[in-house]
Structure 1
């Protein structure tokens, strides 16, 4: 009986680990002990040229790749907005703000290794139900860069 219970517990832990952690990012900044995410908007001359940027800071290099998905909160359909890219301490996930109308929820997907990337099972996924209300907007790149930090 104990052996069966131990096997069941180990299987549960293995499934939870394989699935990774999914966390709600409540504001325009997210931070845990390994990674920091900062949102900003770079206004263009019109809405079609306005950019939504999420800067990923991984100073300890815990993650090798990062991607961004857009999600329809009603159907749960998803699309890849920014394909996986190498994460070498800092990466920008840059998308047109106009796309928020079609894919309002955002999910930053962080992968520790190539196997996680191939299986599309991120170690950490941080999601937002929409663009945080507190996300600041900037008219120039210098203001946005100061906000996002290096």
Structure 2
């Protein structure tokens, strides 16, 4: 196969496959997915943060949306701690409110409303809060 054929045929297939495998920005309910981060994201976008945590690695938690009525976020590796990357800051904050943000962290009583934002019963829209930080998992190497 010539390089020209390779460029015309195989390269677009690889690009298409990568686009297909990428997770869509919305859940099956139509609301935005929970923001998460991992080691690669920190290394590329926040190298000043990753340098503050030698001896630790970061991975994205598993996020599920059971019956579109909750957001369940879980660090699945043993001895992991859920951490939050607050938008607009240059540090990672360990989640300290163990009453509400334990692992797994559950945001219950949700509805995906007609304008595609998460609404919590008795609270109202929580979309701005969900957009204000990303969750990740921190583990000692």
Higher radius of gyration, 1 or 2: 2
Same fold (TM over 0.5): no
TM-score by length of 1: 0.30
Would you tell me which structure has more strand in proportion to its own residues?
A: 1
